[in-house]
Amino acid sequence: DAKTTQPPSMDCAEGRAANLPCNHSTISGNEYVYWYRQIHSQGPQYIIHGLKNNETNEMASLIITEDRKSSTLILPHATLRDTAVYYCIVRPRIQGAQKLVFGQGTRLTINP
Amino acid sequence: NAGVTQTPKFRILKIGQSMTLQCTQDMNHNYMYWYRQDPGMGLKLIYYSVGAGITDKGEVPNGYNVSRSTTEDFPLRLELAAPSQTSVYFCASSIAGGNTGELFFGEGSRLTVL
């Protein structure tokens, strides 16, 4: 699976958009980009995933560059409850067990 | 639905003791997983299962055993506990052939080995 690089920490003001970058320069054609977050010490929570098109759901938007070597997770109106560690993961979207590899992620702090 | 339920939430073991972490899910998911997370680190896959009676090793299986006798349950057994096994353990499940490949995680079991 391709390796990802994320900044270790970021800050964002409450109510502003939080933009979390992820570099995955070695991504291959069949690999998807997944984002999960982990609030405090809870189990990780799925946010969104994509292949090459931008994606949006009720939680966030995912912007993938045209060359697919990087992506950005956007939380449009960050709240204090969005303070968490955010993990960017790339892996093939194949049938079978989803053996995700979690790096150290980005610790996002939303400030009032 | 309760989702993925793990017990116990906290446990302290002495070196050399054994114990089983319980995990059950009520979503009828075929796939189940055990991860461990050391302080300040990401999650590492210990074992996973693609269905009842089928298990396979993940990235860090040494010192652990699993079984999958039913679709719902996926217990993790620690034999001869060591301080290196002090960690938070997360169980997860996913649906076979699901559109998102989303993993559903439990709340974790915090284990300390002294």
Q: Which residue in the set A41, A100, A103 is minimally distant from B103, CB to CB?
A: A100
Residue B18 Cα, gap to closest chain A Cα (Å): 24
User: Strand, helix or coil at B85?
Assistant: helix
Cα–Cα distance, A95 to A34 (Å, whole number)? 16
CA distances from B52 to A5, A54, A60, A63, B97 (A): 36, 37, 35, 38, 16
User: What are the chain A neighbours of B33 within 8 Å (beta carbons)?
Assistant: 97-99
Interface of A with B in 71-110 (CB under 8 A): 87, 93, 95-105
Check pLDDT > 60 for residue B84: yes
Residue B53 Cα, gap to closest chain A Cα (Å): 15
Whole-number CA gyration radius for chain B: 13
Confidence band (pLDDT; 50, 70, 90) for B29?
very high
- For the record, the structure tokens of A34 come out as 């997944």
- The single-letter code of the amino acid at A26 is T
Q: What average pLDDT does this structure show over B6-32?
A: 96
